[in-house]
């Protein structure tokens, strides 16, 4: 064996990279083989192999067969299972004795991240907890993702003081949620990441009680990452404004008029929002205070005017440290067809006037701006962008979505922009293809195939008109 493999940090780094392979990328198979190769690799490889479990199935299978009973039962599982179908259900018929727990006790400490999903094991969670986990809990869980609406009151079996991340999805049993939030706050004293999605279909008085419980839950917890997939009421939002150590935040506007106090997010690095009104986006940007923001994402449903777009982008430049911002995304999301508004005060066409303040952020690597009326720039303006953003990798400035105004950029500006951004992998713009000769096309194509990474990933959108 090479002497480098006796360096623990190197072996750990190799195993960690294999753990991060895609599901079908061969990482798990490589780790399994590596764990059997030499004693030096055994613990690091097994730790990476068992790190994340997407079901309790592997845990249950660590026990001998004679403590389990496999039976076919008629399922009434929630989606995606089809109702009235036969499934194989593994149940404990007795508690395992001490000698039968050896394999479980060896492998269980390797599990750091656990998902409870809609499978047969979550359906049978009461049985698994009663005969195994109540007396022999998983000792090293750091991240718990509860994605099943079943057996909420069994969550306390999986909680410990070292848990740093909890995800709750498909929340609809509100009486159990109050209990679960209390258990998480009482037990997970080092919780830094919390994510939740609630199905807010309930009488108002019940929702009010849940909102109050969640507002109390946020008090005195060291949460630095908060991700909400459902709207919060004003009281909860006020509590969020008091979490001054937040590093990442995702919010959805619940009703017009909601806001955060100015300057309450001084340490934020990632801000994601879904807006019903421009005012909500404006107040969240106002909550920044010379923040080291690295990623900004805003989705909104009603169309904004060009003036509102320009105002938001300008305000970002005054609230964010220029050297930190890496990614910016402002996208209109609408499920209803919108008519073009190319002229008049309500136009949402983005021009260089709105983009110009962003030239201050020379470390930008990804920009996406999508509006109802799109974007329109000249060749010189595209060149200015390339000069100011040399680190750009993904540039998506969707063009005019109407025929009233022709694009002003040409192939020359497109080529110049690509040549100024050597790392550019994806470019989406609309340009005027009229009066472009075959020689110019050939020259432009060769330029885009040049030293830029676009040579190997030619995802450039030439939606020219002519």
Q: 426-429 and 394-397: which strand pairing?
A: parallel
290-309 residues labelled b (16+ CB within 10 A) or e (exposed): ebebbbbbbbbeebbbbebb
Residue 461 sits at φ, ψ, to 5 deg, of: -95, 105
Instruction: Flag whether pLDDT at 84 surpasses 90.
Output: no
Instruction: Flag whether pLDDT at 341 surpasses 80.
Output: no
Mean pLDDT is highest, among 47-56, 72-81, 174-183, for 47-56
What is the C-alpha to C-alpha distance for residues 260 and 239, in angstroms, rounded to an integer?
9
What is the C-alpha to C-alpha distance for residues 253 and 135, in angstroms, rounded to an integer?
43
| pLDDT recorded at residue 458 | 39
Per-residue pLDDT reduced to its tens digit, 109-142: 999 999 998 888 888 899 999 999 999 999 999 9
In this structure, how many other beta carbons lie within 10 angstroms of the beta carbon of residue 335? 5
Per-residue pLDDT reduced to its tens digit, 89-98: 778 889 999 9
Per-residue pLDDT reduced to its tens digit, 284-327: 999 998 999 999 999 998 778 888 989 999 999 999 999 999 99
What is the C-alpha to C-alpha distance for residues 104 and 36, in angstroms, rounded to an integer?
18
What is the C-alpha to C-alpha distance for residues 454 and 392, in angstroms, rounded to an integer?
12
What is the C-alpha to C-alpha distance for residues 312 and 298, in angstroms, rounded to an integer?
10
Prediction pTM value: 0.86
Least confident of 58-72, 79-93, 415-429, 448-462: 448-462
Instruction: Flag whether pLDDT at 448 surpasses 60.
Output: no
Instruction: Flag whether pLDDT at 451 surpasses 60.
Output: no
**Mean pLDDT (whole number) for 175-197:** 92
Per-residue pLDDT reduced to its tens digit, 394-418: 999 886 555 457 888 888 888 889 8
* Closest C-alpha to 226, from 214, 208, 235: 214
What's the whole-number average pLDDT of the chain? 84
**Mean pLDDT (whole number) for 203-207:** 60
Write the CA distances from 359 to 319, 340, 416, integer angstroms. 15, 28, 17
Per-residue pLDDT reduced to its tens digit, 261-284: 999 999 999 999 999 899 999 999
| pLDDT recorded at residue 457 | 38
* Closest C-alpha to 306, from 348, 277, 338, 369: 348
Of 8 and 450, the structure prediction assigns the larger pLDDT to 8
| pLDDT recorded at residue 112 | 97
**Mean pLDDT (whole number) for 166-175:** 82
| Spatial contact of 200 and 222, defined as CB atoms under 8 Å apart | no
Query: Tokens 């993904």 correspond to what residue?
Result: 394
| pLDDT recorded at residue 434 | 74
What is the C-alpha to C-alpha distance for residues 335 and 412, in angstroms, rounded to an integer?
36
């Amino acid at each position: 064996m090479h002497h480098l493999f006796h360096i623990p940090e190197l072996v750990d780094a190799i195993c960690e990279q294999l753990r991060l392979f895609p599901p079908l990328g061969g990482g798990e198979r490589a780790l399994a083989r590596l764990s059997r190769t030499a004693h030096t690799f055994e613990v690091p490889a097994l730790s990476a192999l068992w790190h994340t479990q997407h079901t309790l199935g592997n845990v249950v299978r660590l026990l001998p067969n004679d403590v389990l009973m496999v039976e076919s039962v008629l399922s009434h599982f929630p989606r995606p299972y089809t109702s009235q179908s036969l499934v194989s259900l593994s149940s404990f018929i007795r508690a395992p004795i001490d000698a039968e727990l050896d394999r479980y006790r060896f492998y269980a400490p390797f599990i750091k991240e656990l998902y409870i999903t809609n499978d047969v094991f979550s359906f049978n969670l009461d049985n698994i907890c009663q005969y195994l986990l109540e007396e022999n809990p998983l000792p090293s869980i750091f991240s718990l993702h509860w994605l099943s609406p079943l057996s909420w009151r069994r969550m306390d079996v999986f909680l410990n003081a070292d848990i740093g991340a909890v995800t709750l999805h498909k929340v609809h049993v509100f009486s159990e949620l109050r209990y679960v939030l209390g258990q998480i706050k009482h037990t997970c004293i080092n919780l830094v990441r919390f994510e939740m999605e609630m199905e807010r279909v309930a009488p108002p008085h019940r929702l009010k009680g849940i909102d109050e419980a969640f507002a109390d839950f946020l008090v005195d917890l060291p949460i630095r990452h908060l991700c909400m997939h459902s709207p919060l009421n004003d009281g909860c939002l006020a509590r969020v404004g008091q979490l001054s150590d937040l590093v990442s935040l995702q919010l959805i506007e619940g009703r017009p008029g909601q806001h955060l106090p100015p300057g309450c997010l001084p340490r934020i690095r990632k801000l994601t929002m879904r807006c019903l009104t421009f005012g909500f986006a404006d107040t969240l940007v106002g909550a920044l205070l010379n923040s080291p923001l690295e990623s900004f994402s805003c989705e909104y449903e009603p169309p904004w005017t060009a003036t509102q777009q320009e105002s938001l982008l300008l305000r970002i430049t005054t609230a964010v440290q220029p050297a930190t911002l890496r990614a910016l995304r402002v996208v209109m999301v609408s499920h209803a067809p919108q008519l073009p508004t190319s002229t008049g005060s309500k136009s949402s066409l983005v021009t260089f006037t709105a983009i110009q303040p962003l030239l201050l952020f020379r470390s930008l690597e990804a920009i996406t701006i999508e509006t109802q009326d799109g974007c329109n720039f000249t060749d010189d303006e595209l060149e200015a962008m390339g000069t100011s953003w040399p680190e750009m990798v993904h540039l998506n400035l969707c063009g005019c979505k109407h025929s009233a105004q022709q694009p002003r950029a040409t192939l020359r500006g497109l080529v110049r922009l690509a040549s100024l951004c050597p790392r550019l992998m994806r470019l989406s713009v609309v340009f005027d293809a009229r009066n472009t000769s075959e020689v110019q096309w050939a020259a432009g194509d060769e330029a885009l195939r040049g030293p830029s990474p676009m040579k190997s990933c030619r995802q450039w959108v030439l939606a020219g008109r002519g």
